[in-house]
């Protein structure tokens, strides 16, 4: 897996560039980056392995993905080498080889996508905010993009409940979760859930009840369907979700 291969995957993403945030991460800045990563993940291998939401399982918890798709995310695995009968015909051998090559291609795309998403996240914030997960020998190889997101939410995703309610609404309203890059046919093929609702559920959880927002709060809210307010998207009502 080369750096160029990872870059080639990034060039296929809906959002090839994630804006860099120089300041210390906040709930809002983490959430915005997370949402862009969600979109990029959803655009990869849609329908493969039975995952209608592409590789969204790379950037969402198991509970969140199950809530959205109605079933667990199927983690891609490498294909097994073809087992051919002793008297296999040339056609059988060619077909078995083709299927194996296709399986390896999909699996490689999964691995490259995981690396590409992680690279984008690490490029979105200063290195010091990931320092606690850095290893001098392996760097971030042992960490997934979801684990890095979890650390950001836990350490920096604080929500101040003393902020007036109108301010909390502004925090949600400053982000437009609509997706114009997917055409309706693509959206329908990915899931029966409206795409805007999917993004709301994944990246715009309601304000945490505790002073400090934690990733566990985030996961619990997603599992329970989260709170999607009218103020989050003017063109969408609660009935749409």
Q: 112: domain range?
A: 3-240
Q: And the tokens for 216?
A: 């566990």
Total domains in the chain come to 1
| Predicted TM-score (pTM) of this structure | 0.69
Q: What is the mean pLDDT of residues 19-23?
A: 94
| SS3 at position 21 | strand
Asked whether residue 164 carries a pLDDT value surpassing 70, the answer given is no
Express as a percent the part of the chain with pLDDT over 70: 66
CA dihedral over 79, 73, 179, 183, signed as positive or negative: positive
Distances (CA, A) of 10 to 7, 57, 104, 105, 186: 5, 17, 19, 16, 20
Long-range contact pairs involving 150-156 (C-beta distance under 8 Å, separation at least 24)? 150/215, 152/25, 152/30, 152/125, 153/27, 153/30, 153/213, 153/214, 153/215, 153/218, 154/214, 154/215, 155/25, 155/129, 156/24, 156/25, 156/26, 156/27, 156/30, 156/129
Express as a percent the part of the chain with pLDDT over 90: 49
Q: How does residue 162 score in pLDDT terms, banded at 50, 70 and 90?
A: low
């Amino acid at each position: 897996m080369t750096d160029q291969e990872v870059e080639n995957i990034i060039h296929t993403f809906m959002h090839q560039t994630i804006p860099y945030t120089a300041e210390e991460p906040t709930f809002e800045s983490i959430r915005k980056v997370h949402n862009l990563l969600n979109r990029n993940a959803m655009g990869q291998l849609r329908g493969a392995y039975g995952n209608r939401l592409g590789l969204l399982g790379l950037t969402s918890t198991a509970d969140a993905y199950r809530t959205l798709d109605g079933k667990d995310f199927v983690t891609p695995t490498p294909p097994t080498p073809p087992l051919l009968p002793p008297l296999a015909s040339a056609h059988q051998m060619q077909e078995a080889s083709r299927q194996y090559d296709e399986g390896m291609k999909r699996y490689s795309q999964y691995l490259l996508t995981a690396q590409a998403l992680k690279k984008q996240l690490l490029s979105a914030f200063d290195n010091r905010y990931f320092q606690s997960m850095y290893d001098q020998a392996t760097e971030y190889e042992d960490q997934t993009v979801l684990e890095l997101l979890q650390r950001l939410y836990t350490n920096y995703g604080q929500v101040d409940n003393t902020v007036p309610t109108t301010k909390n609404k502004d925090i949600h309203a400053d982000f437009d979760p609509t997706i114009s890059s997917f055409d309706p046919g693509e959206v329908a093929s990915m899931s029966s859930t409206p795409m805007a609702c999917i993004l709301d559920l994944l990246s715009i959880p309601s304000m945490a009840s505790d002073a400090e927002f934690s990733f566990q709060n985030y996961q619990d809210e997603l599992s329970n369907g989260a709170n999607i307010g009218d103020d989050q998207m003017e063109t969408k009502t609660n009935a749409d979700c």
